[in-house]
Amino acid sequence: MPEVVCCESVLNMTSLALKLSHYINGVAKKHGEVARHMCAHDVIAAITNGVQAATWTSPPLPSLFDQSIPGWREDNVSLRYALSIPKQDMWNAHRTAKRRMVQDVNRVTQAAMEVDVLTLGFARRATAYKRLDLLFQDRERLQQLAAHAGGLQVIYAGKAPPRAPGEGVDPAHLCGQRPPQKRRQDCLPGPL
């Protein structure tokens, strides 16, 4: 078993965690750099916000990336070369992914979302500091944007943490709950 104490035989929880972990990563590139500087004896990787492109990429995109960006699954930074993929190929993959997403959302929620409407998605833990309600702070501007785009639909996906004072936001309460036939108008009245 590795030595789990440091600092003159005092138990240090950070040292304990580092020494007993199979894999250590920072939550952002800079965090990894700082952690490696602070703990030079440990091998510390960095994954930006814990995101690994190969696990979050929508099914139509990996095959496109495989053709154009060899090694993207191991090196997220190489996705910057996606700019060289023909725009029509990216658009087709995007449309396929969006169609599948809208079908899944409609199947689960009966929301009557449409593929050809601008869709904003928030997939994050629903807690107050994430500011899920920020989108609705200036409703007039949001209505103008929706009108300019030809409509707007918003998907909130995320689980609220256990309730504690000031913790957790239930996305369903951002706009008020309405029956399925009116969900398309939950947040903004009118023809969105």
Secondary structure (3-state) at 7: coil
pLDDT for the residue numbered 176: 44
Q: How confident is the model at residue 148 (pLDDT cuts 50, 70, 90)?
A: very high
- Stretch 15-41: mean pLDDT: 85
Higher confidence at residue 137 or residue 163?
A: 137
pLDDT for the residue numbered 92: 95
- Stretch 163-192: mean pLDDT: 46
Contact 135, 120 (CB under 8 A): yes
pLDDT for the residue numbered 86: 95
pLDDT for the residue numbered 123: 77
* pTM, full prediction: 0.62
* Closest listed residue to residue 19, CA positions, set 46, 1, 40, 38: 1
Secondary structure (3-state) at 154: strand
Q: How confident is the model at residue 90 (pLDDT cuts 50, 70, 90)?
A: very high
Number of H helices, E strands in the chain: 7, 6
Cα–Cα distance between 141 and 155 in angstroms, integer?
19
Q: How confident is the model at residue 61 (pLDDT cuts 50, 70, 90)?
A: very high
- Stretch 99-120: mean pLDDT: 91
Cα–Cα distance between 115 and 38 in angstroms, integer?
48
Structure tokens at 93: 């993959």
